[in-house]
Structure 1
Amino acid sequence: MKLRYAMVCSSNQNRSMEAHALLKREGFDVSSYGTGQHVKLPGPSLREPNVYDFGTPYKHMLEDLRRKDPELYRRNGILTMLKRNVAVKLAPQRWQENAADGTFDVVLTFEEKVFDMVVEDLHNRNHVLFKPVLVINLEVKDNHEEAAIGGRLALQLCQELEGNENWEDVIDDLVINFERQNNRKLLYSISFY
Protein backbone atom coordinates (compact mmCIF):
# COMPACT_ATOMS: atom_id res chain seq x y z
CA MET A 1 0.00 0.00 0.00
CA LYS A 2 1.36 3.41 -0.93
CA LEU A 3 0.64 6.00 1.76
CA ARG A 4 1.20 9.76 1.70
CA TYR A 5 3.17 11.18 4.64
CA ALA A 6 3.71 14.60 6.21
CA MET A 7 6.54 15.30 8.66
CA VAL A 8 5.80 18.27 10.95
CA CYS A 9 7.91 20.07 13.56
CA SER A 10 7.90 23.55 15.07
CA SER A 11 9.96 26.13 13.25
CA ASN A 12 13.60 25.20 12.88
CA GLN A 13 13.38 22.68 10.04
CA ASN A 14 15.73 20.11 11.57
CA ARG A 15 13.69 17.10 12.74
CA SER A 16 11.00 17.14 10.05
CA MET A 17 13.54 17.71 7.28
CA GLU A 18 15.83 14.92 8.52
CA ALA A 19 12.89 12.51 8.36
CA HIS A 20 11.74 13.99 5.02
CA ALA A 21 15.20 13.51 3.48
CA LEU A 22 15.47 9.92 4.68
CA LEU A 23 11.95 8.91 3.61
CA LYS A 24 12.38 10.63 0.24
CA ARG A 25 15.63 8.67 -0.36
CA GLU A 26 13.70 5.47 0.41
CA GLY A 27 11.01 6.32 -2.17
CA PHE A 28 8.18 7.43 0.13
CA ASP A 29 5.62 10.06 -0.90
CA VAL A 30 6.52 12.63 1.77
CA SER A 31 6.20 16.34 2.51
CA SER A 32 7.40 18.40 5.47
CA TYR A 33 6.10 21.41 7.33
CA GLY A 34 6.66 23.70 10.28
CA THR A 35 3.99 25.12 12.55
CA GLY A 36 5.63 28.26 13.96
CA GLN A 37 5.11 31.83 12.79
CA HIS A 38 8.60 31.93 11.26
CA VAL A 39 11.56 29.67 10.60
CA LYS A 40 13.99 30.14 13.47
CA LEU A 41 17.58 28.97 13.27
CA PRO A 42 20.16 29.31 16.04
CA GLY A 43 22.09 32.57 16.00
CA PRO A 44 25.10 33.91 17.87
CA SER A 45 23.09 33.67 21.14
CA LEU A 46 19.74 32.35 22.35
CA ARG A 47 18.36 35.89 22.22
CA GLU A 48 19.55 36.42 18.65
CA PRO A 49 18.10 33.67 16.46
CA ASN A 50 18.11 33.94 12.70
CA VAL A 51 14.49 34.41 11.69
CA TYR A 52 13.14 33.85 8.18
CA ASP A 53 9.66 33.82 6.69
CA PHE A 54 8.25 30.50 5.56
CA GLY A 55 8.80 30.31 1.81
CA THR A 56 12.32 31.77 2.04
CA PRO A 57 14.48 29.43 -0.06
CA TYR A 58 16.91 27.30 1.93
CA LYS A 59 19.62 28.43 -0.51
CA HIS A 60 19.03 32.05 0.60
CA MET A 61 19.30 31.07 4.28
CA LEU A 62 22.52 29.19 3.57
CA GLU A 63 24.06 32.16 1.74
CA ASP A 64 22.90 34.57 4.46
CA LEU A 65 24.51 32.56 7.28
CA ARG A 66 27.71 32.05 5.29
CA ARG A 67 27.93 35.85 5.00
CA LYS A 68 27.20 36.46 8.69
CA ASP A 69 29.56 33.99 10.39
CA PRO A 70 30.56 30.91 8.38
CA GLU A 71 32.72 29.47 11.17
CA LEU A 72 29.96 29.65 13.81
CA TYR A 73 27.33 28.09 11.56
CA ARG A 74 29.70 25.40 10.29
CA ARG A 75 30.67 24.51 13.86
CA ASN A 76 27.07 24.30 15.15
CA GLY A 77 25.93 22.21 12.15
CA ILE A 78 23.46 24.71 10.70
CA LEU A 79 25.26 24.97 7.33
CA THR A 80 25.25 21.17 6.97
CA MET A 81 21.56 21.07 7.90
CA LEU A 82 20.71 23.75 5.32
CA LYS A 83 22.73 21.95 2.61
CA ARG A 84 20.65 18.84 3.31
CA ASN A 85 17.45 20.90 3.15
CA VAL A 86 18.45 22.48 -0.19
CA ALA A 87 18.77 18.96 -1.64
CA VAL A 88 15.29 17.98 -0.36
CA LYS A 89 13.10 20.94 -1.34
CA LEU A 90 13.17 24.61 -2.31
CA ALA A 91 11.87 26.27 0.86
CA PRO A 92 10.18 25.58 4.19
CA GLN A 93 6.39 25.44 4.20
CA ARG A 94 4.01 26.22 7.03
CA TRP A 95 1.47 23.51 7.89
CA GLN A 96 -1.36 25.96 8.46
CA GLU A 97 -0.90 27.58 5.04
CA ASN A 98 0.14 24.69 2.82
CA ALA A 99 -1.13 21.37 4.16
CA ALA A 100 -4.63 22.08 2.89
CA ASP A 101 -3.26 21.59 -0.64
CA GLY A 102 -3.80 17.86 -0.34
CA THR A 103 -4.56 15.03 2.01
CA PHE A 104 -2.17 12.78 3.89
CA ASP A 105 -2.61 9.27 5.20
CA VAL A 106 -0.13 9.79 8.04
CA VAL A 107 1.12 12.96 9.74
CA LEU A 108 4.17 12.43 11.94
CA THR A 109 5.10 15.12 14.49
CA PHE A 110 8.20 15.34 16.66
CA GLU A 111 6.96 17.18 19.74
CA GLU A 112 3.73 17.04 21.68
CA LYS A 113 2.76 20.70 21.24
CA VAL A 114 3.02 20.30 17.45
CA PHE A 115 0.96 17.10 17.65
CA ASP A 116 -1.73 19.04 19.53
CA MET A 117 -1.67 21.85 16.94
CA VAL A 118 -2.00 19.43 14.01
CA VAL A 119 -4.82 17.46 15.65
CA GLU A 120 -6.66 20.69 16.46
CA ASP A 121 -6.16 21.99 12.93
CA LEU A 122 -7.51 18.76 11.43
CA HIS A 123 -10.50 18.74 13.80
CA ASN A 124 -11.38 22.33 12.84
CA ARG A 125 -11.45 21.61 9.11
CA ASN A 126 -14.52 20.84 7.06
CA HIS A 127 -14.70 17.03 6.95
CA VAL A 128 -16.04 16.46 3.47
CA LEU A 129 -14.06 13.41 2.31
CA PHE A 130 -14.40 11.36 5.51
CA LYS A 131 -10.92 10.03 4.71
CA PRO A 132 -8.99 8.99 7.84
CA VAL A 133 -5.61 10.48 8.67
CA LEU A 134 -3.35 9.02 11.34
CA VAL A 135 -1.46 11.61 13.41
CA ILE A 136 1.47 10.21 15.41
CA ASN A 137 3.86 12.00 17.73
CA LEU A 138 7.38 10.60 18.06
CA GLU A 139 9.07 12.82 20.64
CA VAL A 140 12.55 13.84 19.41
CA LYS A 141 14.89 16.34 21.08
CA ASP A 142 15.81 19.25 18.87
CA ASN A 143 19.48 18.64 18.11
CA HIS A 144 21.30 17.16 15.13
CA GLU A 145 22.11 13.80 16.77
CA GLU A 146 18.57 13.20 18.00
CA ALA A 147 17.13 14.36 14.67
CA ALA A 148 19.19 11.66 12.92
CA ILE A 149 17.91 9.01 15.36
CA GLY A 150 14.36 10.35 15.01
CA GLY A 151 14.63 10.20 11.23
CA ARG A 152 15.58 6.52 11.35
CA LEU A 153 12.75 5.79 13.80
CA ALA A 154 10.30 7.69 11.58
CA LEU A 155 11.45 5.60 8.61
CA GLN A 156 10.99 2.37 10.59
CA LEU A 157 7.50 3.44 11.68
CA CYS A 158 6.50 4.40 8.14
CA GLN A 159 7.86 1.12 6.76
CA GLU A 160 5.73 -0.78 9.27
CA LEU A 161 2.65 1.25 8.34
CA GLU A 162 3.35 0.74 4.64
CA GLY A 163 3.49 -3.01 5.16
CA ASN A 164 -0.13 -3.18 6.31
CA GLU A 165 -3.12 -3.12 3.98
CA ASN A 166 -5.37 -1.41 6.55
CA TRP A 167 -3.45 0.58 9.16
CA GLU A 168 -6.74 1.33 10.98
CA ASP A 169 -7.04 -2.36 11.92
CA VAL A 170 -3.48 -2.80 13.23
CA ILE A 171 -2.49 0.59 14.63
CA ASP A 172 -2.84 -0.36 18.30
CA ASP A 173 -0.61 -3.44 17.94
CA LEU A 174 1.82 -1.62 15.67
CA VAL A 175 2.26 1.19 18.24
CA ILE A 176 2.70 -1.24 21.14
CA ASN A 177 5.34 -3.24 19.22
CA PHE A 178 7.17 -0.08 18.10
CA GLU A 179 7.23 1.27 21.66
CA ARG A 180 8.58 -1.99 23.06
CA GLN A 181 11.17 -2.40 20.34
CA ASN A 182 12.49 1.18 20.50
CA ASN A 183 11.77 2.15 24.11
CA ARG A 184 9.93 5.26 22.85
CA LYS A 185 6.41 6.33 23.71
CA LEU A 186 4.11 7.35 20.87
CA LEU A 187 0.97 9.46 20.95
CA TYR A 188 -1.54 8.98 18.17
CA SER A 189 -4.94 10.14 17.06
CA ILE A 190 -7.17 9.52 14.08
CA SER A 191 -8.74 12.50 12.35
CA PHE A 192 -10.60 12.89 9.08
CA TYR A 193 -10.47 15.03 5.94
Structure 2
Amino acid sequence: MKLRYAMVCSSNQNRSMEAHSLLKREGFDVASYGTGQHVKLPGPSIREPNVYDFGTPYKHMFDDLRRKDIELLSLGFNSRYKRNGILPMLKRNLSVKLAPQRWQENAADGPFDVVLTFEEKVFDLVLEDLHNRDQVLLKPVLVINLEVKDNHEEAAVGGRQALILCQELEATENWEETIDDIINNFEKQHRRKLLYNISFY
Protein backbone atom coordinates (compact mmCIF):
# COMPACT_ATOMS: atom_id res chain seq x y z
CA MET A 1 0.00 0.00 0.00
CA LYS A 2 1.53 3.33 -1.06
CA LEU A 3 0.97 6.00 1.58
CA ARG A 4 1.81 9.72 1.55
CA TYR A 5 3.89 10.92 4.48
CA ALA A 6 4.61 14.32 6.02
CA MET A 7 7.48 14.83 8.51
CA VAL A 8 6.93 17.86 10.76
CA CYS A 9 9.09 19.63 13.35
CA SER A 10 9.30 23.27 14.42
CA SER A 11 11.64 24.82 11.82
CA ASN A 12 11.80 22.18 9.04
CA GLN A 13 15.58 22.07 9.49
CA ASN A 14 16.84 19.20 11.61
CA ARG A 15 14.44 16.48 12.78
CA SER A 16 11.87 16.59 9.96
CA MET A 17 14.60 16.98 7.33
CA GLU A 18 16.66 14.06 8.65
CA ALA A 19 13.56 11.84 8.40
CA HIS A 20 12.57 13.35 5.01
CA SER A 21 16.04 12.66 3.62
CA LEU A 22 16.04 9.03 4.83
CA LEU A 23 12.51 8.24 3.63
CA LYS A 24 13.11 9.90 0.26
CA ARG A 25 16.23 7.76 -0.23
CA GLU A 26 14.15 4.67 0.53
CA GLY A 27 11.58 5.60 -2.13
CA PHE A 28 8.75 6.86 0.10
CA ASP A 29 6.28 9.53 -1.05
CA VAL A 30 7.32 12.10 1.57
CA ALA A 31 7.23 15.85 2.25
CA SER A 32 8.32 17.88 5.29
CA TYR A 33 7.26 21.03 7.14
CA GLY A 34 7.70 23.22 10.21
CA THR A 35 4.99 24.70 12.45
CA GLY A 36 6.88 27.67 13.98
CA GLN A 37 6.31 31.33 13.14
CA HIS A 38 9.85 31.57 11.75
CA VAL A 39 12.79 29.32 10.99
CA LYS A 40 15.30 29.53 13.83
CA LEU A 41 18.90 28.34 13.76
CA PRO A 42 21.48 28.68 16.54
CA GLY A 43 23.23 32.06 16.60
CA PRO A 44 26.10 33.70 18.49
CA SER A 45 24.22 33.06 21.76
CA ILE A 46 20.99 31.40 22.93
CA ARG A 47 19.31 34.81 23.04
CA GLU A 48 20.46 35.67 19.49
CA PRO A 49 19.32 32.93 17.10
CA ASN A 50 19.56 33.33 13.35
CA VAL A 51 15.97 33.87 12.21
CA TYR A 52 14.67 33.39 8.66
CA ASP A 53 11.26 33.36 7.04
CA PHE A 54 9.79 30.08 5.83
CA GLY A 55 10.40 29.87 2.09
CA THR A 56 13.96 31.25 2.40
CA PRO A 57 16.11 28.80 0.39
CA TYR A 58 18.46 26.59 2.39
CA LYS A 59 21.23 27.73 0.01
CA HIS A 60 20.67 31.35 1.11
CA MET A 61 20.94 30.33 4.80
CA PHE A 62 24.06 28.28 4.05
CA ASP A 63 25.76 31.21 2.28
CA ASP A 64 24.66 33.68 4.97
CA LEU A 65 25.99 31.57 7.86
CA ARG A 66 29.20 30.70 6.00
CA ARG A 67 29.81 34.43 5.49
CA LYS A 68 29.18 35.07 9.22
CA ASP A 69 31.54 32.19 10.03
CA ILE A 70 34.34 33.67 7.90
CA GLU A 71 33.82 37.02 9.69
CA LEU A 72 34.09 35.27 13.08
CA LEU A 73 37.27 33.49 11.97
CA SER A 74 38.86 36.72 10.72
CA LEU A 75 38.17 38.23 14.16
CA GLY A 76 39.95 35.30 15.78
CA PHE A 77 36.81 33.49 17.00
CA ASN A 78 35.95 29.82 16.56
CA SER A 79 34.23 28.47 13.45
CA ARG A 80 30.83 28.28 15.13
CA TYR A 81 28.51 27.04 12.39
CA LYS A 82 30.77 24.39 10.94
CA ARG A 83 31.63 23.10 14.39
CA ASN A 84 28.05 22.82 15.61
CA GLY A 85 26.97 20.98 12.47
CA ILE A 86 24.70 23.71 11.09
CA LEU A 87 26.49 24.10 7.74
CA PRO A 88 26.60 20.33 7.01
CA MET A 89 22.91 20.12 8.00
CA LEU A 90 21.98 22.93 5.58
CA LYS A 91 24.02 21.23 2.85
CA ARG A 92 22.02 18.04 3.45
CA ASN A 93 18.76 20.00 3.42
CA LEU A 94 19.40 21.74 0.11
CA SER A 95 20.03 18.35 -1.49
CA VAL A 96 16.51 17.28 -0.42
CA LYS A 97 14.43 20.35 -1.34
CA LEU A 98 14.66 24.08 -2.01
CA ALA A 99 13.43 25.73 1.20
CA PRO A 100 11.68 25.11 4.55
CA GLN A 101 7.89 25.07 4.29
CA ARG A 102 5.34 25.95 6.95
CA TRP A 103 2.68 23.30 7.59
CA GLN A 104 -0.11 25.84 8.18
CA GLU A 105 0.58 27.60 4.85
CA ASN A 106 0.75 24.47 2.71
CA ALA A 107 -2.69 22.94 3.20
CA ALA A 108 -2.99 22.44 -0.57
CA ASP A 109 -0.14 19.88 -0.45
CA GLY A 110 -2.41 17.34 1.25
CA PRO A 111 -4.07 15.06 1.81
CA PHE A 112 -1.43 12.97 3.57
CA ASP A 113 -2.09 9.51 4.99
CA VAL A 114 0.44 9.79 7.82
CA VAL A 115 1.86 12.87 9.55
CA LEU A 116 4.82 12.22 11.84
CA THR A 117 5.80 14.94 14.33
CA PHE A 118 8.88 15.04 16.56
CA GLU A 119 7.68 17.21 19.45
CA GLU A 120 4.43 17.22 21.41
CA LYS A 121 3.86 20.95 20.84
CA VAL A 122 4.17 20.38 17.06
CA PHE A 123 1.79 17.37 17.29
CA ASP A 124 -0.80 19.62 19.01
CA LEU A 125 -0.38 22.38 16.38
CA VAL A 126 -0.84 19.92 13.48
CA LEU A 127 -4.00 18.46 15.05
CA GLU A 128 -5.36 21.93 15.81
CA ASP A 129 -4.73 22.99 12.21
CA LEU A 130 -6.43 19.86 10.80
CA HIS A 131 -9.46 20.38 13.09
CA ASN A 132 -9.80 24.00 11.97
CA ARG A 133 -9.89 23.10 8.27
CA ASP A 134 -13.08 22.34 6.35
CA GLN A 135 -13.00 18.56 6.59
CA VAL A 136 -14.73 17.93 3.27
CA LEU A 137 -13.00 14.75 2.07
CA LEU A 138 -13.52 12.88 5.35
CA LYS A 139 -10.31 11.04 4.51
CA PRO A 140 -8.56 9.80 7.67
CA VAL A 141 -5.04 10.96 8.47
CA LEU A 142 -2.91 9.30 11.13
CA VAL A 143 -0.91 11.80 13.21
CA ILE A 144 1.90 10.27 15.32
CA ASN A 145 4.34 12.00 17.66
CA LEU A 146 7.80 10.49 18.14
CA GLU A 147 9.49 12.76 20.71
CA VAL A 148 13.03 13.64 19.53
CA LYS A 149 15.42 16.20 21.07
CA ASP A 150 16.46 18.91 18.61
CA ASN A 151 20.13 18.02 18.17
CA HIS A 152 21.98 16.21 15.38
CA GLU A 153 22.63 12.96 17.28
CA GLU A 154 19.02 12.54 18.42
CA ALA A 155 17.70 13.57 14.99
CA ALA A 156 19.78 10.79 13.39
CA VAL A 157 18.30 8.21 15.80
CA GLY A 158 14.80 9.67 15.40
CA GLY A 159 15.09 9.61 11.61
CA ARG A 160 15.96 5.91 11.61
CA GLN A 161 13.08 5.13 13.98
CA ALA A 162 10.69 7.19 11.82
CA LEU A 163 11.78 5.11 8.82
CA ILE A 164 11.15 1.83 10.70
CA LEU A 165 7.71 3.04 11.77
CA CYS A 166 6.80 4.11 8.23
CA GLN A 167 8.02 0.77 6.83
CA GLU A 168 5.67 -0.97 9.28
CA LEU A 169 2.76 1.21 8.17
CA GLU A 170 3.61 0.73 4.50
CA ALA A 171 3.57 -3.05 4.94
CA THR A 172 0.05 -3.16 6.36
CA GLU A 173 -3.09 -3.59 4.26
CA ASN A 174 -5.17 -1.23 6.37
CA TRP A 175 -3.47 0.87 9.06
CA GLU A 176 -6.81 1.78 10.66
CA GLU A 177 -7.29 -1.84 11.71
CA THR A 178 -3.71 -2.54 12.79
CA ILE A 179 -2.50 0.79 14.18
CA ASP A 180 -2.80 -0.20 17.87
CA ASP A 181 -0.64 -3.29 17.30
CA ILE A 182 1.91 -1.38 15.23
CA ILE A 183 2.24 1.32 17.94
CA ASN A 184 2.44 -1.23 20.80
CA ASN A 185 5.11 -3.30 19.04
CA PHE A 186 7.14 -0.21 18.18
CA GLU A 187 6.98 1.08 21.79
CA LYS A 188 8.12 -2.29 23.18
CA GLN A 189 10.90 -2.67 20.62
CA HIS A 190 12.32 0.85 20.91
CA ARG A 191 11.26 1.74 24.48
CA ARG A 192 9.73 4.98 23.19
CA LYS A 193 6.26 6.22 24.01
CA LEU A 194 4.29 7.43 20.99
CA LEU A 195 1.28 9.71 20.91
CA TYR A 196 -1.17 9.22 18.08
CA ASN A 197 -4.49 10.51 16.90
CA ILE A 198 -6.71 10.06 13.87
CA SER A 199 -7.95 13.23 12.23
CA PHE A 200 -9.62 13.91 8.87
CA TYR A 201 -9.19 15.91 5.71
Normalised-by-shorter TM-score class: over 0.9
Equivalences for 1:137-156 in 2 at 5 Å?
137-156=145-164
CA distance in structure 2 between the partners assigned to 1:185 and 1:131 by the alignment: 26
- Which of 159, 164, 174 aligns to 2:167? It is 159
**Runs of at least 4 residues of structure 1 off by over 6 A?**
none
SS at match of 2:137: coil
Q: Does 1:169 align with 2:177?
A: yes
CA distance in structure 1 between the partners assigned to 2:146 and 2:107 by the alignment: 20
SS at match of 1:43: strand
Read off the aligned partner of 1:157 and give its amino acid letter.
Answer: L
CA distance in structure 2 between the partners assigned to 1:168 and 1:181 by the alignment: 21
Read off the aligned partner of 1:102 and give its amino acid letter.
Answer: G
Read off the aligned partner of 1:115 and give its amino acid letter.
Answer: F
Instruction: Give the % identical residues.
Output: 83
Read off the aligned partner of 1:38 and give its amino acid letter.
Answer: H
Q: Look up the match of 1:64.
A: 64
Q: 1:12 to 1:93 in 2, by over 3 A?
A: closer
Read off the aligned partner of 1:39 and give its amino acid letter.
Answer: V
SS at match of 1:7: strand
Larger radius of gyration: 2
Read off the aligned partner of 1:26 and give its amino acid letter.
Answer: E
Q: Displacement of 1:127 after TM fit?
A: 1.0
- Which of 120, 123, 127 aligns to 1:112? It is 120
For structure 1, the residue ranges without an aligned partner over 5 or more in a row are none
Residues 84-137 of structure 1 show CA distances to partners (whole Å, capped at 9, x for unaligned) of 000000000000001333210000000000000101111111111110000000
Q: Look up the match of 1:3.
A: 3
Q: Displacement of 1:69 after TM fit?
A: 1.1
Q: TM-score, normalised by structure 1?
A: 0.98
Q: TM-score, normalised by structure 2?
A: 0.94
Read off the aligned partner of 1:35 and give its amino acid letter.
Answer: T
CA distance in structure 2 between the partners assigned to 1:49 and 1:112 by the alignment: 22
Q: Displacement of 1:6 after TM fit?
A: 0.3
Q: Displacement of 1:12 after TM fit?
A: 5.6
SS at match of 2:161: helix
Q: Look up the match of 2:74.
A: none
Q: CA-atom RMSD, angstroms?
A: 0.8
Q: Displacement of 1:44 after TM fit?
A: 1.0
CA distance in structure 2 between the partners assigned to 1:100 and 1:150 by the alignment: 27
Read off the aligned partner of 1:121 and give its amino acid letter.
Answer: D
Q: Does 1:73 align with 2:87?
A: no
Q: Does structure 2 retain, via aligned residues, the 8 Å contact 1:179–1:185?
A: yes
For structure 2, the residue ranges without an aligned partner over 5 or more in a row are 71-78
Q: Does structure 2 retain, via aligned residues, the 8 Å contact 1:7–1:17?
A: yes
SS at match of 1:32: strand
Q: Does 1:132 align with 2:140?
A: yes
Say which is worse superposed, 96-105 or 44-53, in terms of deviation: 96-105
Read off the aligned partner of 2:120 and give its amino acid letter.
Answer: E
SS at match of 2:162: helix
Q: 1:5 to 1:110 in 2, by over 3 A?
A: same
Read off the aligned partner of 2:25 and give its amino acid letter.
Answer: R
SS at match of 1:165: coil
SS at match of 1:91: coil
SS at match of 1:108: strand
